[in-house]
Chain A
């Protein structure tokens, strides 16, 4: 009786012990030094079917998994405690020098991603399941197809089923059976998925049956037509987004140079100050990256605007009407500002973080995706333009600015304090440059040379658009951006820039006053 009981007990515990061992052994593989050995860990873990595998893999992918150097115990942090993977127990305090990170390489990352996708196929959340099937599309093998077929029967969500059907059709394409392949091609026609395109290309070139070859060729042709259409849309978007950056950089200059006639070589540095303001605001609010951007916009306006007023009151007003001297003096100021930033913030670039809602892209379909940061910048540019336009055309300050720039003497005799208006106008233009800096900090490097790379472009846009005309600046910036992007794939980035510059020079020869010249008395 007793022996029987013991035997039963042994039978019960044996497989359990075996399971725990397999998991433990697979876990050990993660600590191997050579990646060739380490890469065995994920498949080994998947074989065990242990429920600890999913949280383990998630922690591993996110780089949270650590091991203690002294006893090579693998753990991950949860709620401020270190939980051992094997036992599930808290390990207590672990010194930072003891905590070693488990590093991954790209092959392991893709292993883990498809392993997690496989595990997530049974997830309760349909969105998670959809994600899982999509992730599996790229790595279809006999095993995953089998899993998908099984899952298809129990799946209830429409969109998940759709992608599953797609995955199984892709599998059919490679099945070698003619009828199956033809049916799959018919079903997949018009789909933009890259995986499918690759399979169809392969079929077109290597399929034995002629019917399959022609069907694949036809499907590819219809796909290509749609691809070309989306590629054109994409180029247009790229052009508009480059154009809106140009407009943002130039629009402040359109006021100081366009309306007031001051050649301000320090304009680029005012943009740079705006970008550094963003950096400082982020430093002050390290936990609210999203909000910090909204605070940075008015802050940058004020900082750059004040510096602008200082430049105007301190230097430019004494050089009124002497263009060459203004140019040299503001060039000197630009060098001073650059060096000041180098001394305060170091000559190295500063890293400005992009908030989560601005990274990534909006996936319109399989081939067309619009990057979010660029979309926000286009919107932001239009907003700034509208606001500025309103100030100049509708507000009292705008009226005075226009009055002073058109006829200073007359405006003064009407009681306008022209000196004061000059300072405010310059401050407004400089402040807008600061706002442009906030936008640019999200796109490019924040460093002392930031301004220099935009000053030439800004002048180009303002001159091309017609001095003293806000609409001109908008149209010129956007069209230069689109022209640049249309040329780029054909000529390369370096030549595209040169071609645009040559075009502008020729254009200015023909129409010295730009796209939208000012008419009437104001023009003289």
Chain B
């Protein structure tokens, strides 16, 4: 009797212990960790917090579908606080301490440049969701945002061919993305036969608020009898007083249209859009796009964030595409090992939110449609033009000296920086 109870107790205890041990073992082995490296405080928090929420939603949905390789996904959120060196530290923490299998993050180019050596040294995977200036292709980074040929060049083509623009104002905030983009656009325009005096380039500091003389100058530049347009890489806050000043000085979108590369639904949601109606933006996704995938995504987003008024935007779609590509690649490789996933992801195709199918290319960029939208009174865009089919992203611009001979190909050449003239793979230590 006594013995039996003792035995019973023992078996019970061991069963419980085993159960506990097993379950803890199971939870350790059964999750795949996904790093989320977006600023949740500081100046970039406005834009990046949304992307963190998007990732949490995508991971939650994937887990509801049964996870990945039979395991649950576990998000690891860190806050690099809009501080560029801190991005590198947090990236190192994600890769060495948390041992994440893939990381989704960064917004500004400078933060990406800051984490790049870390991901290359520790062989991690980074998915970068924002349109950028190109001139880069790392073995460890997948660029799901637009390269210049997927945003700036088609927008200029639209203005030139459909609107008949002859004079160009390239206005931007003074930092790396506008400067590189404008350099590419300038040589592109010149290659198309636009004269030097028909291009005006202007840079302003971050958060510039006194636009009077610049707008007056644009007005003068535009009154030379030729159709004029502004290509704007003006960033963030500075856009509101810029558009206000345009309105006040009586320049309508019909006289001098402004096409912006950094103004999306999220930026418009905080401001009075009346003075902006008719101005343009070029993106690869708009919330107003009429596609079943998009309607589903918006519904899921609203129920996840519990706010019907929140908008969706282009970088969110880039994360959606990037995450699904990674999921597919992991399933294809049957493992989360970075090298295996990086090899498997090339050529993977997933539906994007505009009704097409995006594909990961050997240069670690993806195919995207390009849409031009006009701003409407309700802060949404109505699509007025789109490319036929999808454009492949080009890492190295064909319109810049020194960059047009360079190619990135991680399948054949195993190089992100291959010079086709000298036949050498240079830079970035590959």
Residue positions of A touching B, CB distance < 8 A:
35, 63, 103-107, 109-110, 113, 194-195, 197-199, 201-202, 231, 234-235, 238, 241-242, 245, 347-351, 353-354, 359-361, 363, 369, 371-374, 443-445, 447, 449, 453, 485, 488-489, 492-494, 497
Contact = CB atoms under 8 A, between A and B. Distances in A.
A244 to B, nearest CB: 11
A107 B278 CA distance: 10
A194 B209 CA distance: 28
Contact of A371 (B205, B237, B248, B385): B248
Contacts of B33: none
Interface stretch (B59-67, B238-246, B330-338, B349-357): B238-246
Given A201-B225, A361-B248, A494-B174, 20 more contacts: A63-B376, A63-B377, A103-B382, A105-B374, A106-B257, A107-B163, A194-B223, A198-B226, A202-B225, A347-B46, A348-B270, A351-B272, A354-B244, A359-B248, A360-B248, A361-B249, A443-B209, A445-B241, A493-B204, A493-B208
A353 B272 contact: yes
B213 A488 contact: yes
A198 B237 contact: no
A105 B382 contact: yes
Contacts of A107: 163
B240 A497 contact: no
Contacts of B225: 194-195, 197-199, 201-202
A493 B248 contact: no
Contact of B216 (A106, A234, A447): A234
B340 to A, nearest CB: 40
B304 interface: no
Interface size class of B (residues with CB under 8 A): 35 or more
A235 B45 CA distance: 37
Contacts of B223: 194, 197-198
Given A349-B270, A493-B203, A372 B241 contact: no
Interface of B: 43, 45-46, 163, 174, 202-205, 207-210, 212-214, 216-217, 220, 223-226, 237, 240-241, 244-245, 247-250, 253-254, 257, 269-272, 275, 278, 374, 376-377, 382, 384-385
18 contacts: A106-B253, A109-B253, A199-B225, A238-B212, A238-B216, A347-B46, A350-B270, A351-B272, A360-B248, A361-B249, A363-B250, A371-B212, A443-B210, A443-B244, A444-B241, A449-B237, A492-B202, A493-B203
Contacts of A103: 374, 376, 382
Contacts of A494: 174, 203-205
B12 to A, nearest CB: 52
B204 A349 contact: no
Contacts of B377: 63
A2 B202 CA distance: 79
The secondary structure that dominates the A interface is helix
A447 B214 contact: no
Most buried by A among B210, B226, B269, B385: B210
Nearest to B239: A445
A106 B374 contact: yes
Nearest to A246: B210
A66 B13 CA distance: 72
Contacts of B272: 351, 353-354
Given A105-B374, A105-B382, A453 B212 contact: no
Contacts of A374: 212
A427 to B, nearest CB: 28
Contacts of B216: 234, 238
A335 to B, nearest CB: 13
Nearest to B382: A103
Nearest to B43: A449
Nearest to A103: B382
Contact of B210 (A245, A349, A369): A245
A289 to B, nearest CB: 10
A242 B210 CA distance: 7
